[in-house]
Amino acid sequence: MNIDIYGPTRQSYGKTFSLHFHDPFGVRLELCAGGRITEVHPEFEAVRWTESQLGKALSYFDRDLQAAFLQPSL
């Protein structure tokens, strides 16, 4: 099994921890745990990420986006 270079990560948008890996057929899978999707609160505002912020959106720890992460899995 190949472990992706982005694992484990803590995602900025949901504070979830995730691990990316490839199955034997080459399909990238993501295992997530913890965190939250949204919190219901009157002052909650959605976060809008731009393409230039993609590295920050994908990983709380590693802000540099690596091109290999965006390659198709099949």
pLDDT tens, 9-33?
A: 777 666 778 877 777 787 888 888 8
User: Residue 54 belongs to what domain range?
Assistant: 2-63
Tokens 């993609």 locate to 54
Residue 74 lies in a domain: no
Residue 33 lies in a domain: yes
Residue 11 lies in a domain: yes
As a whole-number percent, the residues of the chain with pLDDT over 90 amount to 0
Residue 72 lies in a domain: no
Residue 70 lies in a domain: no
Provide the CA 71 distance to its chain's centre, in angstroms: 14
Residue 36 near residue 25 (C-beta atoms within 8 A): no
- pLDDT band, residue 54 (cuts 50/70/90): confident
The amino acid present at 24, given as its one-letter code, is P
Q: Is the pLDDT of residue 42 over 70?
A: yes
Residue 29 lies in a domain: yes
What is the structure's pLDDT at 41? 67
What is the spatial distance between Cα 71 and Cα 65, in angstroms, rounded to a whole number? 12
Contacts of residue 43, Cβ cutoff 8 Å, sequence gap at least 6: none
Residue 45 lies in a domain: yes
Residue 47 lies in a domain: yes
* Count of domains for the chain: 1
